[in-house]
A = this chain, B = another copy of it.
Amino acid sequence: MKPLSVSNLHIALLHYPVLGKTGEIIASAITNLDLHDIARASKTYGAQSFQVIIPLKDQNKIAQDICDHWTNGHGSRSNPHRKESFELVHITPDFESAINNIQQQTGLIPKTIATTAKKSDNCISYTRCRQLIQSPDPHLLIFGTAWGIAPEFMMQCDHILMPIQPDALYNHLSVRSAVSIVLDRLAGEFC
């Protein structure tokens, strides 16, 4: 398997609108290690930005404080590698702001690719997704927190990516694992 250029790929972590335990639409809370693990995986595989979409004001502030610690604060000096990965992170209050960030960075509005753990008929394959992200257009790969991206939001995305293990008896990976595996499938190199 050959390495791909993912210089047009951006990652988003959605905290709203996502599903709660009983299927209601919620705004979820920040998980510190989501920011670390996804920033590190994004940097490793060459993604161009990591958009953290978090509308709750106090949670948005916590996320920004974490980010500042690792990009400008004590963390940036104690762990320069972590600083490098956190420099990809943008903390945003809503999806439109994330799109605007990418438009400012690239000059183009990104195509959107939602991810899900639930199989459906209109999912694209990893092969197709690898082709898409080699096009000149920026692409934004969106991961949901909690019990996943709300269906209404997902319907508005340009594409939905095939689940990681659609036929597994147990299919409950963390979002940190899911992002890592999807990035490896799209941009990993191994024999």
Bound-state CA distance A36–B174 (Å) is 8
Interface centre among A36, A41, A189 (most CB of B within 10 A): A41
> Is A37 among interface residues, defined by CB-CB distance under 8 A?
yes
A162/B190 in contact, CB under 8 A: yes
Given A37-B173, A164-B184, A180-B180; 13 other pairs, CB 8 A cutoff:
A31-B33, A33-B174, A40-B177, A41-B177, A44-B164, A44-B170, A165-B189, A174-B176, A180-B181, A181-B181, A181-B188, A184-B184, A184-B185
A169, closest chain B residue (CB): B46
B40/A84 in contact, CB under 8 A: no
Copies per assembly: 2
A165/B177 in contact, CB under 8 A: no
SS class of chain A's interface: helix, strand, loop or mixed?
helix
Which residues of A line the B interface, CB within 8 A?
31, 33, 36-37, 40-41, 43-45, 81-82, 84-85, 125-127, 162, 164-165, 167-168, 170-174, 176-181, 184-185, 188-191
Residues of B within 8 A of A33 (CB): 31, 33, 174, 176
Residues of B within 8 A of A177 (CB): 37, 40-41, 176-177, 179-180
A81, closest chain B residue (CB): B172
Interface centre among A36, A44, A85 (most CB of B within 10 A): A44
Bound-state CA distance A170–B88 (Å) is 13
**Which residue of the partner chain, among B127, B165, B176, B184, contacts A191 with CB atoms under 8 Å?**
B127
